[in-house]
Amino acid sequence: MINFNKGLAPEDYHLIGFSLGAHVAGFTGMEISNISRITGLDPAAPLFEGYPSRVRLDPTDANFVDVIHSNGDSFLRGGLGSFAPMGHVDFYPNGGRVQVGCNSVFMGALSDIIYGKWNSLCNHRRAFRFFIDSIIKTCTFRAFACDTYENYLRGDCFGCGPTGTQCSNMGYFSHKSNGRGAMYLVTRENEPFSNQFKIRVISTTGQGSTWGKLEILFVAKDGKNETFVLTNEADEIKDTGFIQGLVVAHPNIHNVTHVMLTYTKYKGWIYSGKEHWNIDKIELINSDGDIFTYCGYGTKLDNSVSHHLPLQAGNCTATMPAPSTTAITTAAAALQPHRIAKLFWQVVGSPIKGSQPKPPKLFWKILINEQPDAIDDPVAERYFWSPYV
């Protein structure tokens, strides 16, 4: 009827289904071929996950099927959504099992289902809240391909690749991205949810290790700021590696001009952190791939002091500063040859061969050494002998 009255074709339809509705959309796509797109918002798991594709949502139900998994934990732990992939691209925000800022448990979720309430379905409902937010073009939910969610959290997979197939935008505009397969991202606890950054702090080598808390404050051009904890109080920080991870700032903090970095040493009964720690570089990369850096070889972070570090657009290289001209001159002067003179004298008597021995005589020598560090080197020493007096 709609097709006849409006002149539409299946290719013009985008079906969106939440929970059980995601599978209903899949059944529709199975009956009406060539539907343009189906979006599954945390498709229901009970009686669907693990079953054949003909009784659940799957990639054959439309030309493009995208799925957001927000509550794919086990049913005994309160999970109501499917974790298994069901689309051409499957998004797993915060790992896809539970969501940051949600505290619902099994009994609360079960009572909500029985009594028709929604108070404890926070994890399950996040899927459609993410989708609604994604309609706003300034709210980009960029997700990235990675072998595991744990590796993604470490910042190992935060790029789209040379062909753009290693990332995709979760939500309304996902069909405009080239990425396919499993995609990961992290979000904020509350709306607005998206604004990911990858942070890397590179320490100066040769310090050994310390224990302490490292905090970074993002400061935007308009003064808006937000603080993130990079290491906890008792975490070990080594000079042989770097501190790296992902944070999600408020979307208003998009033009970061500088950061405030604070190192607080750990004070324990058995061991404690150092009084200061040195770094060489800070890297900030947003989800669009823009990079902002600070470089300063051996930048000293005193204990419990916030350090203002300006950022520059693009990458930079932290290099060891060249010695000053004064230092070179002083060092050269120290290497200039100089002489050391020493005087030795000795009273020498003649052998007694008769009743009238000769009186003793004074014998002396001068030693001139032009290389003070090589006193025993005969080449470096010159002797001048005196006659008998």
- Residue 383's pLDDT is 45
* Catalytic-residue membership of 308: no
Do 256 and 377 lie in one domain? The reply is no
Q: Binning pLDDT at 50, 70 and 90, where does residue 352 land?
A: very low
Catalytic residue among 23, 42, 82, 287: 42
Six-digit token pair at 57? 């949502």
207 and 172 in one domain? no
- 313, 332, 366: which is the final residue of a domain? 313
**Mean pLDDT, to the nearest integer, of 9-37?**
95
| Together in a domain, 170 and 247 | no
Range of the domain at 180: 10-185
Q: Locate tokens 């995208």: which residue?
A: 66
Domain assignment present for 330: no
Query: How far is the C-alpha of 24 from the C-alpha of 20, rounded, in Å?
Result: 7
Task: Choose between 46 and 302: higher pLDDT.
Answer: 302
What pLDDT band is residue 138 in, cutting at 50, 70 and 90? confident
Cβ proximity of 103 and 122 under 8 Å: yes
CA–CA separation, 239 and 243 (whole Å): 10
| 134: helix, strand or coil | helix
Question: What is the total count of domains within the chain?
Answer: 3
What sign does the CA torsion over 292, 298, 303, 308 have? negative
Last residue of a domain, one of 185, 219, 247: 185
Q: What is the CATH number of the domain that holds 239?
A: 2.60.60.20
Same domain, 347 and 266: no
Residue 336 has pLDDT above 90, yes or no: no
Q: Are residues 167 and 219 in the same domain?
A: no
Query: Same domain, yes or no, for 73 and 97?
Result: yes
Last residue of a domain, one of 185, 206, 229: 185
SS3 label, residue 281: strand
Query: Has residue 326 been placed in a domain?
Result: no
d(CA 154, CA 242): 11
- Averaged pLDDT of the chain: 85
The answer, yes or no, to whether residue 129 has pLDDT greater than 50, is: yes
* Listed residue (346, 381, 340) closest to 365, CA to CA: 346
236 and 159 within one domain: no
At 163, which amino acid appears? T
Residues 74, 213: one domain? Answer: no
Cα–Cα distance, 364 to 348 (Å, whole number): 10
Residue 325 lies in a domain: no
Q: What is the distance between the alpha carbons of residues 223 and 33, in angstroms, rounded to a whole number?
A: 53
DSSP 158-176: ----TTSTTEEE-STTGGG
* Assigned token pair, 15: 């079906």
Residue 230 lies in a domain: yes
- Angle, CA 135 vertex, CA 132 and CA 140 arms, to 5°: 105
Instruction: From the candidates 23, 69, 88, 124, give the one annotated as an active-site residue.
Output: 124
Annotated catalytic residue 19: yes
**Residue 131 banded pLDDT, cuts 50, 70, 90:** very high
Is the pLDDT at 385 greater than 50? The verdict is: no
Active site residue 73: no
Give the Cβ contact number of residue 213 at 10 Å. 19
Q: Are residues 68 and 143 in the same domain?
A: yes
Shared domain for 249 and 104, answered yes or no, is no
Tell me: do 120 and 202 sit in the same domain.
Answer: no
Phi (first) and psi of residue 332, to 5 degrees:
-65, -40
Does the residue 150 lie in any domain? yes
Burial class of residue 42 (count of CB atoms within 10 Å of its CB; 0-12, 13-18, 19+): buried
What pLDDT, in 10s, does the model give residues 149-192?
A: 999 999 999 999 999 999 999 999 999 999 999 999 999 999 99
Domain CATH for 116: 3.40.50.1820
Q: Is residue 320 part of a domain?
A: no
Together in a domain, 156 and 16: yes
Assigned domain for 125 exists: yes
SS3 for 202-244 is EECCCCCEEEEEEEEEEEECCCCEEEEEEECCCCEEECCCEEE
| Strand partners for 253 | none
Q: What's the rounded Cα separation, in Å, for the pair 292 and 312?
A: 5
Structural domain includes residue 246: yes
pLDDT on residue 113: 55
Which residues are within 8 A (CB) of 378 and not within 5 positions of it... i.e. 6 or more apart?
Answer: none
